[in-house]
Chain A
């Protein structure tokens, strides 16, 4: 069965960086992309960006351009999201989600369990 298992909770100070992992299993990793979505406490869902596990192409939300980097390791079927220069308003649960590559406007059919990132001095 398809599973996306994310790394554990993180506590970071303002200005630091965080790197969250998302290990995929149960499907052919390179046939899909991974999007990252975050949710601040009590708030809605915010898309952060997408990476193709097929060729590494990325597409980042304009709001996060320059602060976020998404990568994949096809040898371990793992996707990573690094966010730099953390601020208090980056405190959120971060989710990875699977979507097909080469399919227009595809849905996120499987999600990771979420990783809480807390930014606090």
Chain B
């Protein structure tokens, strides 16, 4: 089965840029979606189809996807961005989620 690997944690100072990677075999050929999940809450879609933002998601959130790595970038990080982030793809008739990354704002 297809495996998506994310770093367990990323720490970033307020106002700086956080980059969260999602590694998978030839992931650049797939569509990647990203979700933000805060403690005790349901996930929220923040990026879809690699780089599109749903309405209501700040422009500070952006995405890219190429080769074996997809990346979620959060610019000008704020305290409210502290959360778990998951990537997701569709592969071989199954939805696959990444292992998840906890973003800590210092």
Are A47 and B94 touching (Cβ within 8 A)? yes
Query: Using Cβ atoms and an 8 Å threshold, which residues of chain B touch A108?
Result: 33, 35, 43, 45, 88
Restricting to B16-66, which residues have a CB under 8 Å from any CB of A? 30-31, 33, 35, 37, 42-45, 48-49, 54
0 or 1 for each of A89-121: is its CB under 8 Å from B? (1 = yes): 000000101000000110111011110000000
Mostly, the B contact residues are strand
B8 smallest CB distance to A (angstroms):
10
* B42, A45: Cβ atoms closer than 8 Å: no
Q: Please, how many residues of chain A have a CB less than 8 angstroms from a CB on the other chain?
A: 21
- A62 closest partner in B (C-beta): B94
Cross-chain contact B90 with A50 (CB below 8 angstroms): no
Interface flag for A35 (CB, 8 Å): yes
